[in-house]
Structure 1
Amino acid sequence: MARRIVELLRNPLAIAGLAIVALLVAGELLSPGFASQRQIITLLKVAALLGIVAAGQNLVILGGREGIDLSVGGIISFSAFLAGNLMQQQDAHLVQGVTLVLAAAFAIGFVTGLGVTLLRIPPLVMTLGMLGVVQGGLVLLTRGVPSGRAAPMLGRMVGEPLVFGLPGILFIWILIGAALTLVLRRTTFGYNVYAIGTNEAAAALAGVPVRRTRTLLFALSGLFAGMTGILLLGYTNYVFVGAGDQYMLPSIIAVVIGGTSLAGGSGGYVGTMAGAVVLVLLQSILTTLNIPPFGRQIVFGATLLALMLLYGRQRRLRG
């Protein structure tokens, strides 16, 4: 029995599940109604936004080589702005707007990937530079003035019940989770991702297209960030500069809470989904306690530092 408990506590997904239950209980004690069905659905909508951008972050981190994408916040903001201006509250422009935004976000991530693979720029430096470029371009385009509105159909899909009282954004998130898990565990591309994350040199010797795979990982990260920007527009119904900034740090923490090693080559997306729920619950409880935004940032930063210490230990053990 004791051995089973120890094994359970070594499973990041199990720990995340226990954390979700504990946070729901704590939230209900602090604020009755916190764990009500309506409130849980609202929290899951927020978690879905974080979880979708974390999907791309998950891929980049799995690919190893200190891979972290710091540009996702800027891409989310840019995508929300572009989608709002392409749609202009017209359902007729929804498909065109979504297609163009996703293509633009994929292209930004692809350029980032080329910088990392062809120019050998460290991922942190390259993605931070791309973040500056995207944010600067967004300020230039908007001049600090929000513009653009979501198509009504997008707003209904994100916010209104679709089936079983659940909004469409949750079904999109579940679909992404199932597809990404299938790709990582059952396709050649997924095997390649784990291979380059575990040992890039050995993967190259085995014939894995390392550069092409890593470039695609950053492109997909941009794609998921773009998708998050579109859904965020549907959630808020309008665009504001810096809308995606709040997702950069939590998207990294969600991935690591879910059991993906920052050293790469180990982990999966189901854990990341649980990690996103944990973070949203934690943020909601901090808000309930009237902790100001800077306090919440301190908590998230401390959490990331603790995880980095654990990552350092994992790396030494792997070495």
Structure 2
Amino acid sequence: MTQSHPLSAVEEAAAAWFMRRRARASDADAENAFQTWLAQSPLHKQEYERLAGVWDDMAALPRPAMRADAVRQRSASRARRPVFLKWGGVFAALLLTLAAAYQYLPVSYESVANAYTQTRNLDLPDGTRIHANVGTRVSVRYTLAERHISIDGGEVYIDAAPDRRPLIVSAGEAQLRDIGTQFNVLLLPDTLQVGVRSGQVLLDAGGADTSARQTLQAGDTVLMTRADGRISRRLKVPVTEVGAWQEGVVVVHDVTLQQLAGYLGLYRDAPLRFADARARNLRLSGTLDLRQPDVFLEMLPSLLPVALTRQPDGAAVLSSR
């Protein structure tokens, strides 16, 4: 069962404009106001077009045949009704109509659970492409109303196709809303990183901190701590760095070894541990080849003042020196 959720201010405004224009109650001033509202945000146009599309799809659904006397009674009833309904009644009718339409919609569902040596691509019905990195768990659910991608862990690069339905990506506690774009999402136990290669993404961390609700443009990369839903860093990077893992490399900017260990955990079936806090907090920048993560670990002592110890269970331990 799909759970209902409160309408956002944009959804309410789009519904009001849609019904007003459908009833032909708009004059020239109202139409100008509508065009001004559309121009305020790409999200306004996307939501209005989504609503119009759902209405059209609902109208195309087969309806039960009505008896002739029922048709006459309905026509007489309509003739007695006022030309314009109160907005509350129209809006309620719209919601009921949309809710009824959802019952007829086909659902497309796919899921991916990659091993630490496996990547996978998904080509979705609308033309969207998903590239799932090693150690990634992601599921996709499409309905007539929306496209929803849920990332349970790992890294996903999304090349979103244009569509009247919004594309909503859930990653931990955060939610991303695409506005025609290509972007990368890295979800680790402690952190969430989002990078945009083209277009725009609306990020809502899901917490009370309004600063974590941001619009990300091409080249923007943000790092969020999952514990409190706060943005800890925001960088502007070359767009070629976003999703570079698809070429077998990752570009890091002044990250701690602790943060890097979380990422390496996707590529290895054994953990990376630290013997002391100093080793954990050492920082690193550069372009790293992670196709052979153990080779990278062997190189670390030549890059930073650490020593590497292997344990029988395959775990690697870094200690400061």
TM norm structure 1: 0.21
TM-score normalised by structure 2 residue count: 0.21
- Higher strand proportion, which one? 2
Task: Please state which structure has a larger fraction of its residues in helix.
Answer: 1
